[in-house]
Structure 1
Amino acid sequence: MSTKRLSVVVTRRLPADVEARMAELFDVRVVGSDKPLDRAALLAALQDADILVPTLTDTIDAPLLAGAGERLKLIANYGAGVDHIDVATARQRGILVSNTPGVLTEDTADMGLALMLAVLRRMTEGMAKMQDGVWEGWAPEALLGTRLGGKSLGILGMGRIGQAMARRARAFGMNIHYHNRRRLHAGLEEPLEATFHERLDALVGLSDVISVNCPHTPSTFHLLNARRLKLMKPTAVIVNTSRGEVIDENALTRMLRAGELAGAGLDVYERGHGVNPRLRELPNVVLLPHMGSATREARQEMGEKVLVNMQTFADGHRPPDQVVPSML
């Protein structure tokens, strides 16, 4: 690949200094604002760039890639998750895909723990009383929640974020259990005092809290389906900071409404930003607008990773964060 200035199309506004550095290195055009591109605009971007810098709001599927221009050789995703990109089709067409792993770990785990605390300690219910001006003072039986210490946390997906969740939960005295495609080696498992469960059903049945930390792939779609959700204790809660598609949201909603689960803390949803309206009505559910990685530090570091991937590619080398289908 030539080191000449390559044409780069960015689909959303990025941190100002990231955009400035990108403009020093490449011929950059930012076509988005604070709104996702429609399909026609995204197709035009694919036809008009050597490098595309999309975000998770850009669905880049096989039909769209079929219309990509011959110049397009790298999709440098601004984000860790790539389930919105058909990586296999991109590879077949000679287009590399990179992402930004690692930089979101601590922030997402912080949010997972915050959601866990908010649900178990009924924080939003307490906040509502204060904001509505209906608090009548302390009472022995008012807004009783559940302590974390001594409870079992079941982690679904023990990658970077799952392990970061485990470290935080251990500090609160929780017992760590997990299900993963592969068991962690002892050097990772033992410091966390974590118990591996090959059968997801067993993990779901014993956990007081389930934390979803696995990516969305065809094999994880509705991994927590109606049958598995029924295995959970009625006193258990579920927290999801990963991908909404992992949970059957309709089944979860029915169980929460029926009192068959104690609560849920959700930062992601099965239909993107289309939140099930019945979830909004439930006092034992905490809903956030996909804020898991929303720190200034994370956004900056994501941009820096994108820049490194782009410059490495421009220099004729494999991007350090290249994604290949076998990784998914």
Structure 2
Amino acid sequence: MASNRWLTTGNYFTSYKQEQRIFLTHLDRTGFLIFLILLFVWPLVFPPSNKYMLVIDNILIAAVAVLGLNIATGFAGLISIGHAAFVGVGAYTAAFFAKTIGDSHVFLTHAWPLVILLSGFAGAFFGAVVGLPALRLKHLYLAIATLSFQMIFTWTINFMDFFDQGQTIPIARVFWFTGEVSRKEHYLFWYYAILVILILLGFMIRNLLRTRYGRCLVAVRDNDRAADAMGMHPGLTKVYAFALAGFMAGVAGALHAYLYRGVGIESFSLHESITYLAMAIVGGLGTLHGSFWGPAAIKMLDLFVENISEYAGSVLPATMNLTTALRPLSFGLVIVLFLMFEPRGIANWWRIFRSYTRLWPFRY
């Protein structure tokens, strides 16, 4: 047992079970609980406008999707360039129910947690199917296989009359214990709903990484032949990594459909897949909390660039067309700078900060 469960100083372990616990100290657990309380309380104390609450909701949905991408790319080392297609599978699963039984059916409006869960399973199924080529492919070839799924998904939706050829398919407002969620409370309600789902999925992944199945992901990423020699099954590990990534993406897609009260193909394009990959890189591949830092950084960058563009458009002449060029320029520049100077992402800054606070006031 550790001699001091509140501080890192004096901690030592006598078993792997102690070393693998979620919170190493009571201070970590207390800080996390305080942070969760703040996340649930701040919208009630400082209510934001619908515009900024929508941005925050989008950050949380992107975090759910990037959690799945980090499972496949970060922990298992499987490059995926079609992650937005898995998100689209989840969204169009909800759209399938809307087209089949009606967008205002009680199943969609009252049993929406079940719809979100089914959307996750649909994403997991397609993730496992796309993961089958990982049995024989790796690196660039596997990336091209996932890109092919992105192209196939986009083409299929655009040419299917059932899904209105990619046009927006509406979904009605959901009901809660107090009745139908009103337009005024819509974004606030989904903030809490998405936050609860994100916390549950985060704990699920954290516990997965503590098991042998989570360690298999890392072993296959580092050296699949060595993992095979140690008794692991690299092929099965890669398939269930894609299945888990698809499940997270499917849940994110259903949440996106409910948040925007509709589904359209433009939200699941190749550009969105690149954006998810950029979020994972900026946040930190192979780290759990990097899945939260990355979406927050990219979404806040988009908001900042949008405000700068509006201001520049009111000052500079319209012929300069700064708004069109500034967003892709800043997006690409941020990715290049992180790849050059901080390839481990924002999560590494958090690691350095935590190490400093643990060792303070000692310099070593």
TM over 0.5: no
Whose RCO is larger (CA < 8 A, sep 6+)?
Answer: 2
Whose helix fraction is larger, Structure 1's or Structure 2's?
A: 2
TM-score, scaled relative to structure 1: 0.27
Whose strand fraction is larger, Structure 1's or Structure 2's?
A: 1
TM-score, scaled relative to structure 2: 0.25
